[in-house]
Structure 1
């Protein structure tokens, strides 16, 4: 199982489903109001993937998007973040590497994609 994880600043209603519609089949995700955890699913290359939105991440202004499945539309968090930024035009952040849940964080920097470009920054 693979996963992608990005953080979306000041998420507007409906923007995640609008963005993912162009990349996934049979998308079922109601992000019309992201006030609590939202779960959905879709198909990618014929296989089912899970989609989760977690509002209130990192100081409440970010929503965490996690996609999990055997086949995903992007290979890395950064590729996913780039696509999201082009579609949503709001700040997107993601981990710079292949960190996995439970592992220590070796580097405190994150990719930040916004109107200033792509930069490695400390999250604060």
Structure 2
């Protein structure tokens, strides 16, 4: 089932590299507009939000659309790793508000080691 939106976390990359990748994948990016800590643009028809250092050294990339080439967070994360060669993390499936704390700490890690499930405690 296609997710209604996509959110992945990337390490050691800036929003300009992201815009280049999204431009190739989704369509030309509008210039980034900074609003407080976040940056927003559109890649093709997709609203994009970039939040630097959302969790420690990890940057959040949020694609607010179900019309991306990716079915879910994991396929987007794998594409981001392939294009940018940086470690990427994402939730293993759609996130539900009712999930237990344990479920909320389950993440997928995409890196040179491949894809693996990890425990990542994002709430201090």
Q: TM-score, normalised by structure 1?
A: 0.81
Question: Structure 1: which 5+ residue stretches go unaligned?
Answer: none
Shift of 1:87: 0.9
Which residue of structure 1 aligns with residue 41 of structure 2?
40
Q: 1:72 aligns with which of 65, 68, 79?
A: 68
Which residue of structure 2 aligns with residue 54 of structure 1?
51
Whether 2:36 is the aligned partner of 1:19: answer no
Contact kept, 8 Å, 1:36 with 1:55, in 2: the verdict is yes
| Helix, strand or coil at the partner of 2:29 | strand
- Number of positions where the alignment pairs a residue of Structure 1 with one of Structure 2: 116
Which residue of structure 2 aligns with residue 113 of structure 1?
110
Shift of 1:13: 5.1
Shift of 1:30: 3.0
Q: 1:98 aligns with which of 77, 94, 97?
A: 94
Contact kept, 8 Å, 1:2 with 1:72, in 2: the verdict is no
| Helix, strand or coil at the partner of 1:118 | strand
Question: Structure 2: which 5+ residue stretches go unaligned?
Answer: none
Contact kept, 8 Å, 2:87 with 2:110, in 1: the verdict is yes
Q: CA RMSD in A?
A: 2.3
Q: TM-score, normalised by structure 2?
A: 0.81
Offset from partner CA, 1:20-70 (integer Å, 9 cap, x none): 111112321439x9x931011132xxxx221000111222x0110000124
Shift of 1:2: 1.9
Shift of 1:110: 0.4
Following TM superposition, the consecutive aligned residue runs of length 4 or more in structure 1 with deviations greater than 4 angstroms are: none
Contact kept, 8 Å, 2:26 with 2:46, in 1: the verdict is no
- Of Structure 1 and Structure 2, the greater strand share is in 1
